[in-house]
Amino acid sequence: MTTHVTSADAVPTTPTLDPGTDHGYPGELSAVLIPAATLQAKIAELAAAVAADHDLDTPPLLICVLKGAVMFVTDFARAMPIPSELEFMAVSSYGSATSSSGVVRILKDLDRDITGRRVVIVEDIIDSGLTLSWLLKNLATRSPAAIDIVALLRKPEAVKVEEDVRYVGFDIPTDFVVGYGLDYNERYRDLPFVGLLGEHMYR
Ligand code: IMP
Ligand code: MG
């Protein structure tokens, strides 16, 4: 189910072929790593896999980790062939830097009790895994029936804490990526694809 994406899959942008231009970011991205259609095909696959592990009569409670997973969860829920319910949680681990601090803060908590519910954590990306590991411990104290994790992206070489993530869309290189919910200083979340930020943008 997990597709391995390498640097060789990155399609470099050029002044004449720069998909960032259509979204107001000309010259800022160095490459497209995962095109929009590839993301959507994978999301359909992940949604089918998660749905197959659930009964129709007990809809999974999707916990979207804001803000990065917001694009993913909306496409994911709409691609699922079974009903789901939606909750949001916001945590902060990065500030505006490009590497994980491991310090997690709850910025917004769930609106309801998850006791006895099957929850599915919907994550944009597992980088060091520190955020996820912290979140798992935190949610486990609230007595859900089960916790599954679906992550669109994972950087296997950066992972410091291994968690049992059943559903992973793409394993990607450790480069800093933006788009499809992922930001650099709050920019680029609105891109429909995952790209590599030009080095001149964060030096
Ligand atoms: P982790 O705790 O290192 O696994 O990463 C936590 C969060 O950092 C993710 O949920 C993302 O919001 C953010 N993050 C990690 N890697 C990237 C990246 O390459 N681009 C943008 N945000 C990232
Ligand atoms: Mg961020």
More confident residue, 7 or 97: 7
User: pTM to 2 decimals?
Assistant: 0.94
Q: Is the dihedral of CA 113, 119, 125, 130 positive or negative?
A: positive
- Residues ≥6 apart with Cβ < 8 Å to 27: 15, 18, 20, 198
| Beta carbons of 59 and 85 less than 8 angstroms apart | yes
Query: Considering 127, 148, 171, 190, which one is annotated as catalytic?
Result: 127
Gyration radius (Cα) of the chain, Å: 17
- For the chain, strand residue ranges (E) read 3-4, 11-12, 29-34, 61-66, 85-92, 105-108, 118-126, 146-154, 167-171, 177-178, 194-197
In angstroms, the CA 118 to CA 128 distance is 25
pLDDT for residue 160: 81
Of ligand 1's atoms, which has the minimum distance to the CA of residue 175?
A: 19
Q: What digits encode the pLDDT tens for the residues 50-86?
A: 999 998 788 999 999 999 999 999 999 999 999 999 9
Give mean pLDDT, residues 176-185: 97
What pLDDT is recorded for position 98? 58
Pocket test for ligand 1, best of 34, 64, 125 (most atoms within 8 A of CB): 125
Which pLDDT does position 115 carry in this prediction? 97
The DSSP element (H or E) to which 136 belongs, if any, is helix 130-140
How far, in Å, from the CA of 112 to the mean position of ligand 1?
26
Confidence of residue 177 (pLDDT cuts 50, 70, 90): very high
The mean of the pLDDT values for the chain is 93
3-class SS of residue 146: strand
Give the percent of the chain with pLDDT over 70. Answer: 96
| Ligand 1 atom closest to Cα of residue 65 | 10
Ligand with the closest atom to the CA of 98:
1
Q: Is the pLDDT of residue 97 over 60?
A: no
Closest CA to 73 of 16, 135, 123, 136: 123
